[in-house]
Each structure stands twice: as C-alpha cells, then as structure tokens.
Amino acid sequence: MFEWLIRRRPINQLNLHHQLAEIPQLTLVASSALWSEAERQAINLCQRAMLLEYDLFIVLDDFQSTSDPDRQKHYVRQLVLIITDLFKNLLPVLKNVIKELKRSAPTSLVTQDMCRAQKRFKEIRKSHQLRHLRNNAGAHHDKDANAQLNALKSIKVSYKTLIIKQLLEAFTELSMARRRLIESWREKSLRNETQQELKSG
C-alpha cells in the first residue's frame, strides 16, 4: 500500500507513517507565536487533512484485503463517511483559510497550493453524485447488505478509482502546503534566534 503512495508523491515526500510521526511537531508548530493567524489556521487544516488521508488509505487497504461481505460492507460505510466528512466539514474550513491567506499573503506558494486543492475538491463534488453514493452505501441510513455491496462494486473502489485518485491529488496539494508552512516556521525560528542572540550580545 505505502509503496504505491511513495511512488505517486515527490521523491522527497515522506510516506504516511512518517507524516503521522510529525503530528507532535505540527502541534508544537501550530502553537508557535511566530505564526500569523492565517498561517496558524492553514497548518491546523493541513494536519486535519493528513489524518483524513491516512484514514482513507487504511480503509481502502482493509477493504481490498478481505473478501468477507460483512467486512466489505463495514469498510464501504467507513469510506463514504470519510468522504462525506471531508466535503461537509473540511471544505468550508479550507475556504475560510484561503480567504485569510489571500488577505495576508495573496501570492505565497502556500496560498497557491491551497487554491489548487480547493479547485480539485470542487471538481470532485461537481463530477460525482456524493449524496447518491452516501445513501446507497448505507452511510446515511441502514439498507440491506447486498444493496450496499452492489453500490460499492458499481464504483469499483480501489486506488485506481477516479474519485479516489482525485482525492489523493487534492491531498497532495495540501501536503505540499504543509511542508512549505513547516519550512517557513523553521526559517522564522532561525531568524528569531539570531535576533535574540544579537540583542543579548
């Protein structure tokens, strides 16, 4: 699973296990006084997106590892709930973050990454009947197992499924934004330390 992930990302991009190991650091970074409010909101959004991406990969991997209909049904529901959460809760936050970033740093690479991610998410919402998928997969209310499995099979869930590929492309944009923000924080920290040393000297 993760070998495929590494191939699809830039060579210098860490795999998801290593990304999750960054969470304590990200929490520290997000609380830094060196951030503007827009930057703080952006790093928190990127951290949340990273966890959703991880959940997506775990559920996909679990689904493809079982042939048991009941387990498949469970993973279908989990997958659709992840996608639903993304569009219902993450996208409005992304919209607000972009709005704040455009005020403070309209030409920054982070702002551009966020805008590209938003564009990809909008394309997904436009080209897929997400509510229909959610209802048929049984995430909204219970339906019989066969109907749920047929709904799942109809979209051929795998890493090559169009909606999954599009989601991963959008997550990649947010991942790039996160790395730029962390690098920016490191540069700010270094400048701040240098200034403090000059003052104390």
pLDDT of amino acid 6: 33
pTM of structure? 0.72
Average pLDDT for the chain = 74
User: What is the tens place of the pLDDT at every residue in 122-180?
Assistant: 888 887 666 666 666 555 555 555 655 565 555 555 555 677 788 888 988 998 998 88
Residue 82 vs residue 162, higher pLDDT: 82
pLDDT of amino acid 73: 75
**End-to-end CA distance of the chain, in Å?**
53
- CATH of the domain spanning 2-200: 1.20.120
Where residue 14 falls among pLDDT bands split at 50, 70, 90?
very low
pLDDT of amino acid 84: 81
87 close to 129: Cβ distance less than 8 angstroms:
no
34 close to 192: Cβ distance less than 8 angstroms:
yes
pLDDT of amino acid 120: 92
User: What is the tens place of the pLDDT at every residue in 61-74?
Assistant: 887 788 887 787 77
Kindly list the domain boundaries of the chain, sorted by start residue.
2-200
Mean pLDDT of 182-195: 79
